[in-house]
Structure 1
């Protein structure tokens, strides 16, 4: 009985936890999960990475369309004015996080840059993509993952 009560208490705590939020360059809170059902492309970049520089216009275009959220993370963990200057130097027009979400996602740092993690609307890492991506390749990846997730959910509900 004692273990059951501990389990119930723990379950209630887990159910009440809010999604982990991070802070962007403007000081605004940002969640990896989406209340609007949007997928997220979480991109790791570095100022010294030429393929990262080449990829930024594609990510800017993806972000401006609004179908897929785009968040950037500086691989070198720059802070403050240094981070702002790096984002400006690369002409990054999508939100950049002030801290890395890797610990919250329970994944190791990427070994190759650029690295883009595709995250479901519920905040789950669904794909890890290494090397430069295009707007089209990211949209196709999200579409495939979304269809796969929808099929999986249908199967679970029909089996449940």
Structure 2
């Protein structure tokens, strides 16, 4: 009967391995890399000139910052780029949009932020989305996307970059950096 016990032991071992293999989890993927994971990258427009009190363009420093943003986002799977109707936000967004061959979609700066965020959350389920706003709208946009309070941006700050990663579990993870 030792042969029968060895056969039973082998069957039990194989069955156990099959159960364990079924319980193993896949390696974690990076937000925005596939599945139902999306990253929202939100920045304020770069440094603005004083060439037009209503709709200024970017300064040379601002154009350099927009280029640095595009370089920083070069490896991101950008699927959409949003900027307000103003030249300074469009000029900040354009280098990254060009690099990823996606258009800059305009959104109305005076629109309801909560509605915009809800729309973006519905429309984008994977990849990365760049949103360029203003000092008085970026904290509210980030808050609406992440569910967290975000401190105000002073009129002299142009270097904040917020990233809201929303995983397949639906949980938003907010990080802030500078660029």
| TM-score, normalised with respect to structure 1 | 0.38
| TM-score, normalised with respect to structure 2 | 0.35
Q: Tell me which structure has the larger Cα radius of gyration.
A: 2
